[in-house]
């Protein structure tokens, strides 16, 4: 890897490379909303190999490595959770999107980060890979009402950490666009169910 070579050269010269940090960013513009339902989103629980702010790169299916001086700006599970919170809030489908479970939100979106990495297929082909499992939990019963896995790959424009962050952001945008309709519909359904179960609620005839 070219970054490893640069680190080796710097080490030989007696200089410690500067640590740089990268984040994910949504590109969508905020939509107007008249939504009445709120959503809570928790940081994702990262699988052990990805529970590290060092950026992961992979040369083969059997081995992964870390860039020591190229790091995510937050733990990867939190990074992905923050991206989803921003994307879902901008969608216009929710009146509010919160960091954690709340009585004002009928459901909480959480899950597991399965992979967040750079995959080097060859000297000229590099991919951003993100895989997550999302779950939607009813905040009154604490039962999971929905679960879905997503796996997306996006080519890198260049073999750089910034290009990786851009590629993963694009892949995460596709994931949130796929998950949004189901999450919004289920949040509305659970809110209606909670309202119907309240004492004194009128039963439709």
pLDDT score for 117: 98
In this predicted structure, the answer to whether residue 12 has a pLDDT above a threshold of 80 is no
Question: Shortest CA distance to 30 belongs to which of 95, 83, 84, 87?
Answer: 87
Report percent pLDDT > 90 for the chain: 80
8 Å CB contact between 64 and 57: yes
What tokens appear for 50 in the block?
A: 């990805």
Cross-strand pairs, 133: 112, 149
Q: Which DSSP string do the residues of 10-45 spell out, in sequence order? A: HHHTT-PPPPEEE-----PPPPP-----EEEEPPPE
Report the predicted TM-score, pTM, of the whole model to 2 decimal places: 0.87
Q: Which residues contact 10 (CB under 8 A, 6 or more apart)?
A: 16, 17
- The 10s digit of each residue's pLDDT in 89-134 is 999 999 999 988 888 899 999 999 999 999 999 999 999 999 999 9
**Strand segments (E) across 49-163:** 54-60, 63-72, 96-98, 107-120, 126-138, 144-155
Specify whether the backbone of 92 is left (phi greater than 0), alpha (psi in -120 to 50) or beta: left
Tell me the pairing of strands 144-155 and 126-138: antiparallel
Of the pLDDT bands very low, low, confident and very high (cuts 50, 70, 90), residue 197 is confident
Specify the pLDDT at position 6: 47
Mean pLDDT, residues 22-49 taken together: 94
Instruction: Note the pLDDT of residue 27.
Output: 84
Domains, the chain, with CATH or none: 19-194 (3.40.50.10610)
């Amino acid at each position: 890897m070219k970054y490893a070579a640069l680190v080796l050269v710097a080490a030989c010269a007696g200089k410690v490379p500067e640590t740089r940090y990268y984040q994910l960013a949504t590109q969508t513009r905020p939509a107007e909303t008249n939504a009445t339902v709120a959503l809570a989103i928790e940081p994702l629980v990262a699988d052990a190999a990805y529970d590290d702010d060092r950026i992961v790169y992979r040369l083969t299916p059997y081995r992964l490595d870390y860039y020591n001086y190229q790091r995510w700006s937050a733990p990867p599970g939190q990074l992905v959770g923050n991206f989803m919170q921003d994307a879902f809030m901008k969608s216009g489908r929710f009146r509010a999107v919160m960091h954690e479970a709340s009585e004002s939100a009928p459901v909480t979106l959480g899950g597991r980060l399965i992979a967040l990495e750079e995959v080097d297929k060859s000297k000229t082909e590099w991919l951003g890979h993100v895989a997550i499992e999302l779950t939607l939990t009813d905040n009154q019963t604490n039962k999971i009402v929905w679960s879905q896995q997503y796996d997306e790959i996006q080519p890198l424009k260049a073999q750089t950490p910034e290009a990786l962050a851009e590629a993963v952001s694009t892949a995460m945008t596709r994931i949130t666009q796929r998950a949004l309709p189901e999450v919004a519909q289920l949040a509305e359904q659970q809110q209606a169910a909670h309202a119907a179960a309240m004492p004194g609620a009128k039963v439709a005839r």
